[in-house]
Amino acid sequence: MKKVFLTLALTSLTGGLLHTLTAAACDAKGASGIVAENSMYIPANMKSLNGGITEDAFNNAMDKIEKIYSPIISAKGKTLLIERNWEDGTVNAYASQSGNTWKVAMFGGLARHEVITADGFALVVCHELGHHLGGVPKKREFFGNTWASNEGQADYFGTMKCLRKYMEKDNNIEMVKVLNVDPVATERCNKSFSAPNDIAMCERGAMAGKSLGNLFRALRQSPLELKFDTPDNSVVSKTKDNHPDSQCRLDTYFAGSLCDKNHYDDVSNSNPNLNVCSLVEGYNFGTRPLCWYKP
């Protein structure tokens, strides 16, 4: 079995692995993840030469987010549990709730994928927290809504609220100098924000979203390059709860990065327009993309 996993990992890092993807999405029981279930497995002894993050970076991201969000969740009478499965080669991440415990399960396989950056990995943790804290729209089941914010909302919360808390005390202006930020992202971030640190956080959020968009694209084996200036122009007839297409997800991460709402102002479990960039408030930037969201 170990030999099979090693072969899969080697193949995946050269872009040749075939994946069996299902239509499943992160669900309220934590049975599926940030991406559809897939057969990719990258063992701990297989790190890409071109990307991925180290075990220290894996733990540092979770240490930082745990320090921020444990007291926030504790104030709600709940306990945050972040599972750190570095040795596990699974290329996915999960959120679940059991009693008063709100869990996020992270895996070394995802962290080792060649397109994952440190900010991209932190955004995965933020996405999973977004299922717990991201507000409406929630995932729907036959008898009504579940506890879990849907996929698009977890993505939007990830860059709009969580990742900004994660980044705010960093030297963001210096950090973006080595990120090779897309010029389109830079231009749009400068239009949304005026303070240099806010602009830099917007750029970091956008590029973290690009990292994850490239992961989704790789797992779907899509030949189409994801770009900030080629948004998904499809319009849904009703809000989509499951994973949007890869470009649509990049658009969502970018929108969350561009939204100028205060990242300490909480979203709502009942009002979809509270403390987000909303069309009803006249925003023409930073709003949830219509490729998954029906206002």
Percent share of the chain, pLDDT over 70: 88
Say if residue 5 is exposed, middle or buried (CB neighbours under 10 Å; 0-12, 13-18, 19+). Answer: middle
In this prediction, residue 287 carries a pLDDT of 98
Per-residue confidence band for 48, with pLDDT thresholds at 50, 70 and 90? low
Beta bridge partners of 141: 144
What are the residue ranges spanned by the domains of the chain?
A: 2-281
In this prediction, residue 3 carries a pLDDT of 35
CB 35 within 8 A of CB 92: yes
* DSSP assignment of 169-225: TS-HHHHGGGTT--HHHHHHHHHH--SHHHHHHHHHHHHHHHHHHHHHHHHHT--SP
Task: Say how far apart CA 41 and CA 27 lie, in whole Å.
Answer: 21
Beta bridge partners of 145: 140
Q: pLDDT at residue 264 above 80? A: yes
Q: Provide the H-helix boundaries in 15-162.
A: 55-74, 108-112, 118-133, 151-157
DSSP label of 244: P
pTM score, whole prediction: 0.90
The residue behind tokens 């057969």 is: 39
Q: Dig out the tokens for 76 from the structure.
A: 């709600």
H-helix or E-strand spanning residue 23: none
In this prediction, residue 183 carries a pLDDT of 98
In this prediction, residue 113 carries a pLDDT of 96
Q: pLDDT at residue 23 above 90? A: no
Q: pLDDT at residue 281 above 70? A: yes
Least-confidence region, from 47-51, 104-108, 120-124, 186-190: 47-51
In this prediction, residue 143 carries a pLDDT of 77
CA 279 from centre of chain: 23
How many residues in total does the chain contain?
Answer: 295
In this prediction, residue 32 carries a pLDDT of 60
Per-residue confidence band for 10, with pLDDT thresholds at 50, 70 and 90? very low
Beta bridge partners of 96: 103
Q: Is the peptide bond before 223 cis (omega within 30 degrees of 0)?
A: no
The tens digit of pLDDT for each residue in 209-251 reads 999 999 999 999 999 999 999 999 999 999 999 999 999 999 9
Output phi, psi for 159, to 5 deg.
Answer: -90, -30
Q: Report how far apart, in Å, the C-alpha atoms of 126 and of each of 31, 65, 143, 160, 267 are.
A: 18, 8, 28, 10, 14
Q: How do beta strands 144-149 and 101-107 pair?
A: unpaired
Task: Say how far apart CA 107 and CA 88 lie, in whole Å.
Answer: 6
